[in-house]
Structure 1
């Protein structure tokens, strides 16, 4: 029994499937995603890389949007983890912090990718973004760090945080994008 109710049949069935599918190459890949999506890499390295790349493109409002969406999603995840206090699966292969619901790794991955999809607006970014989110979600359940519904909630929360913050920044982002395109047209190529 957990604070949000009993673990459902879908969660238990999915966990059994993931535990049965464990083989060394998949475990190594999932552990890499766990490493990349957690700790200082998720909190400092990945966000700073995105911020530096956006700064090189002089996308100042895009940086503000990314930071706001990221902070909002982290606040939502930590509030919900404390509120629901859901126990993690017993089949866990990695060390994790308190609270299974929702998945912070999946929420962060989703927030990042939805923001990049919105900013870049290219088909390849959508494909990369969806693949990254699915890979992160699968890795979390494969490692037993989360129930399937924890990862699904992470996708919803990450998407929601990015879209809510888009509402606050959309006019500035459109103006910034328009100014960049106008400047590119005015600057002759050599």
Structure 2
């Protein structure tokens, strides 16, 4: 058996429940005050050097960087060493799960970014955001934050098959990027705080599903 069906699904159920709670709270407007207060704080504390640093650090959640350059690149390198097609499975599973969840959720909720000049930018189902000058209504949940959780989990898994990495550094590789990206994407105004909070629940859920596969059997060291 290559997938752990047993072992309890309460953690996954909890994450789904939290995502529904956050989504309902945003839809009802309960979190608008918090989101707008965080946006105002970030706008009032823009420092040029810090902004450039956050732009660079935000790449830790960019799909091209984590999925293709790092994730796929490590898969190819591992295949070169092992000559087994199974090395591409972690990448394929992560790509599939993020593709079928993020896109539909973003399209459905139709939320623009804090950088928008629309008076109702914080709201869901924002048809005005589809029109110029915004032409963007795919902010919820944050794709960068989901990527930083899912893909750094895959990157750590693949890297641990290539090199001996102490567990504490594997922990850092998995925890640091999501924390950093949640902060940077909020500070830069790319996403509302609740976009990031919802993304944490989605990312952790997908990460849980990915790591239910018995990679120790599929990809032995």
Q: What TM-score comes out, normalization by structure 1 length? A: 0.75
3-state SS, counterpart of residue 115 of structure 2:
coil
* Partner in structure 1 of residue 113 of structure 2: 88
* Partner in structure 1 of residue 128 of structure 2: none
Q: Are residues 160 and 23 of structure 1, via their aligned partners in 2, closer, same or farther at CA, if it must alter by over 3 Å?
A: same
* Partner in structure 2 of residue 146 of structure 1: 191
Q: Report matched runs for 1:21-170 at 5 Å.
A: 21-35=45-59, 37-38=61-62, 40-42=64-66, 44-56=68-80, 58=82, 60-90=85-115, 97-117=136-156, 120=160, 122-167=167-212, 169-170=213-214
Q: Which runs of 5+ in 2 are unaligned?
A: 1-25, 118-133, 161-165
> Is residue 2:192 matched to residue 1:175?
no
Q: Contact between 1:140 and 1:146, CA under 8 Å: does it hold in 2?
A: yes
Note the alpha carbon deviations across 1:8-43, whole angstroms, 9 max, x for none: 222222222222221111111222244564464455
> Is residue 2:27 matched to residue 1:4?
yes
Determine the C-alpha separation between the residues in 2 that align with 1:29 and 1:155.
Answer: 22
Note the alpha carbon deviations across 1:146-173, whole angstroms, 9 max, x for none: 0111112222212211211332x22xx2
Shift of 1:75: 2.1
Determine the C-alpha separation between the residues in 2 that align with 1:96 and 1:54.
Answer: 40
Determine the C-alpha separation between the residues in 2 that align with 1:44 and 1:177.
Answer: 20
State the superposition RMSD in angstroms. 3.0
Shift of 1:177: 5.0
Count of residue pairs brought into register by the alignment: 173
Larger relative helix fraction: 1
Shift of 1:123: 1.3
3-state SS, counterpart of residue 4 of structure 1:
helix
Once the two structures are overlaid, the 10-residue window that deviates more, 151-160 or 54-63, is: 54-63
Determine the C-alpha separation between the residues in 1 that align with 2:157 and 2:204.
Answer: 11
Q: What TM-score comes out, normalization by structure 2 length? A: 0.65
Q: Contact between 2:70 and 2:155, CA under 8 Å: does it hold in 1?
A: no
